[in-house]
Amino acid sequence: MKTELAAHLRRLPSLLLLVTAPLHAQDQEIQRQLIQRQQQSDAFLLQLRQSQERVQVPPGDLKRMQELDTRQSGERRRLDTVSERQLSDVKPDTPQELRPIERQRAADERAPLTIPTGGIVQPVENPH
């Protein structure tokens, strides 16, 4: 009887590992999806800001339009690069209670990439 109990107890850590491994993988995937949803919101915010900036450039000012296109393209690339890295950095062994902190750090890192240092661009009033 004792030998059977000892044999079961020796298998217990392996069994626990088999049971908890999918849970950690699931937690990691949920965390990745939550970060990805926020990244999509940030990308939309950047796109909205860039559209507002584009409207402020006079239609005939090609040089300014090209400069704006170059800058905005760089901003989108930087946001995409940071977003990809953040998703790949989600760790499966992060404790559940630290997941919100991990998401907030990711959001804080993206914030300067979506909102310019001068704040939100205000639309120009129509003079007509």
pTM of the predicted model as reported, rounded to 2 decimal places = 0.70
Whether the pLDDT of residue 56 is over 50: the answer is yes
Q: What is the pLDDT of residues 3-34, one digit of tens each?
A: 676 665 676 565 544 544 444 457 889 999 99
Give 119's contacts (C-beta < 8 A, 6+ positions apart). Answer: none
Inside any domain, residue 128: no
pLDDT at 33 (0 to 100): 95
3-state secondary structure of 70: helix
Average per-residue pLDDT in the chain?
A: 82
Band of pLDDT at residue 115, cut at 50, 70 and 90: confident
Inside any domain, residue 117: no
Inside any domain, residue 43: yes
Inside any domain, residue 98: yes
Residue numbers of the domain that contains 84:
2-110
CB atoms within 10 A of CB 118: 6
How many CA atoms lie less than 13 Å away from 30 in the CB half-sphere?
10
Inside any domain, residue 52: yes
97: left (phi over 0), alpha (psi -120 to 50) or beta: alpha
Q: How much is the CA Rg of the chain, to the nearest whole Å?
A: 24
pLDDT at 3 (0 to 100): 67
Inside any domain, residue 118: no
- HEC profile for 23-81? HHHHHHHHHHHHHHHHHHHHHHHHHHHHHHHHHCCCCCCHHHHHHHHHHHHHHHHHHHH
Nearest CA-CA partner of 114 in 53, 42, 55, 51? 42
